[in-house]
Amino acid sequence: MKKAALIFGYNDYALEIAKNLKSGYEKVTIYALGSEVDALKNSHDVEIKSFDLSDNWSNIDEDTDRENSIAFCVLEDSAENIFLTISLRSSFENLNIIALSNNKQTASKLQMAGANKVIPLVQTTAEMIAEMLQKPIVKEVFHNILFQNSTLKIAQVKMNEGNIYVGKEISEIDWSIKYGVVVLALVHKDMSSEFIYSYKIKHHIIDKDDVFIVVGYAKDIKEFEEMTGSRCD
């Protein structure tokens, strides 16, 4: 029987939880709600399975040590997350259930539904920001923005074809050391955007026409532009 981590819901929180639990559990599985699983299976180095909100939990493997395993309920819809918690608790009396909530009212309902612990999203986001602020360059940026008449600028820099970073994974690069700029977000060709510190985007392969939102001093941004692409007004 395997000690497992069962994560219900597919989003940045689920991926971050999976990444941090891989060393402590024999098996880590993300259960995605809906029909998108086939497209996701090969996208990450974690097992992804489908589930629905019925009471049939036959897709939880028989070799799982349910009494020593842990389940995370991270569905983005609050009502669905509450229903999921009720369903899991009614089926697995001794399963340790952790749920994410987006407000106090939902947190109370999740506790009544049977969650052993409820983590507010506000707390989770604050911890992500606290981790980000440990980076020296980020500390300097925030200090200057808050307390000084700053010469810091925000710019959109588009990746030109042929620059040295096209084809590389974002996690491989630390532009703050080389150029002194902080990259905040990535804007894709379809104009959708993603926060640069999310787990999913770290594995994005840089493509020509990707646009990065950066903060830095004018001279540093200019150097960054000359090496990586062109300025977008």
Give me the pLDDT at residue 133, please: 54
Q: Decide if 48 contacts 77 (C-beta within 8 A).
A: no
Give me the pLDDT at residue 129, please: 53
Residues of the chain with CATH 3.30.70.1450: 133-232
Q: Given CA atoms 185, 188, 194, 198 in this order, what sign does their dihedral have?
A: negative
> 28: which 2 tokens?
């880590």
User: Which has the closest alpha carbon to 121: 9, 3, 34?
Assistant: 9
Residues of the chain with pLDDT under 50: none
The one-character DSSP state at 48 is: E
Give me the pLDDT at residue 48, please: 86
pLDDT tens for 43-98 read: 567 888 888 887 677 767 667 777 778 999 999 889 999 999 999 998 888 899 99
CATH superfamily for 133-232 is Regulator of K+ conductance, C-terminal domain (3.30.70.1450)
Give me the pLDDT at residue 232, please: 59
Give me the pLDDT at residue 151, please: 66
Give me the pLDDT at residue 88, please: 92
Residues of the chain with CATH 3.40.50.720: 4-127
DSSP H/E element including 219: helix 218-228
3-state secondary structure 52-113: CCCCCCCCCCCCECHHHCEEEECCCCHHHHHHHHHHHHHHCCCCEEEEEECCHHHHHHHHHH
> 37: which 2 tokens?
């699983």
- Please give the class, per CATH, of domain 4-127: alpha beta
Give me the pLDDT at residue 223, please: 86
Give me the pLDDT at residue 76, please: 87
Q: Given CA atoms 167, 173, 175, 178 in this order, what sign does their dihedral have?
A: negative
Q: Which residues pair with 217 in a beta bridge?
A: 152
